[in-house]
Chain A
Amino acid sequence: AQSVTQPDIHITVSEGASLELRCNYSYGATPYLFWYVQSPGQGLQLLLKYFSGDTLVQGIKGFEAEFKRSQSSFNLRKPSVHWSDAAEYFCAVGVPPAGRRALTFGSGTRLQVQP
């Protein structure tokens, strides 16, 4: 079965600094990969996704992520963090091609932004 690891439970960065959130997955082939963001008391919003093709994907709010097959990673990056980016971030994988298509989530990384 597939699994997702987000090694960093909590990260604090200064506003304007760059950000990288780590995500590693375990699966025998290339899964579908997602990053979701959850603001306090809110549902999950999709930031970006990777299905195939270009390994660097662009998302909303200035985020990007890079799929690295050799490292089984899909790290999320942003060059300059804004205070409004403070939230919890979840990496998720989906297993193609058929089946229930449910997602397996990591345990999340909480991002705090210092002024």
Chain B
Amino acid sequence: NAGVTQTPKFQVLKTGQSMTLQCAQDMNHNSMYWYRQDPGMGLRLIYYSASEGTTDKGEVPNGYNVSRLNKREFSLRLESAAPSQTSVYFCASRREGETQYFGPGTRLLVL
């Protein structure tokens, strides 16, 4: 039982490049989330998926897209990366109830 896994762990992009951050969970959770973490700001919600086939915007969705590929996987895509998207990205999943379980994070640097 690996919990929540994220790939890659670290990525460097040039401005304008695209990439997809992958997230998978093996806990059979319905809900999944993408957050970004910036210094002094805690975690902010980018997008979430309440169930397979549904996605919705969070606080800071601009510049991102998501896909809930199946119950296990929830990917985050940057179509044209900008330096303001330099951050640490965390994926989380939630079982019924309120507790969210977090992945180890992806550190993204956009030059």
* Chain A residues at the B interface, C-beta cutoff of 8 Å: 4, 9, 32, 34, 36, 42-46, 49, 51, 90, 92, 94, 96, 100-103, 105-108
Contact, CB under 8 Å: B105 / A43: yes
Contact, CB under 8 Å: B50 / A100: yes
Set B40, B43, B98: member contacting A101, Cβ < 8 A = B98
**Distance to closest chain B CB from A43 (angstroms):** 4
Set of chain A residues within 8 Å of B94, measured between Cβ atoms: 101
Number of A-B contacts (CB under 8 A): 55
Contact, CB under 8 Å: A108 / B42: yes
Query: Residue on B with the closest CB to A33?
Result: B98
Contact, CB under 8 Å: A90 / B40: no
**Distance to closest chain B CB from A97 (angstroms):** 10
Q: Once the chains are docked, how many angstroms separate the CA of A49 from the CA of B48?
A: 21
- Contacts A43-B90, A100-B48, A100-B50; A32 near B98 (Cβ below 8 A): yes
Query: Residue on B with the closest CB to A100?
Result: B48
Set of chain B residues within 8 Å of A92, measured between Cβ atoms: 43
Query: Residue on A with the closest CB to B57?
Result: A100
* Chain B residues at the A interface, C-beta cutoff of 8 Å: 4, 31, 33, 35, 40-45, 48, 50, 56, 58, 90, 94, 97-105
Q: Once the chains are docked, how many angstroms separate the CA of A42 from the CA of B45?
A: 18
Contact, CB under 8 Å: B101 / A46: yes
Chain A to chain B: the 8 pairs with minimum beta-carbon distance, closest first: A105-B42, A44-B102, A43-B104, A43-B102, A105-B43, A32-B98, A107-B42, A102-B45
Q: Once the chains are docked, how many angstroms separate the CA of A102 from the CA of B33?
A: 8
Set of chain B residues within 8 Å of A4, measured between Cβ atoms: 42
**Distance to closest chain B CB from A4 (angstroms):** 8
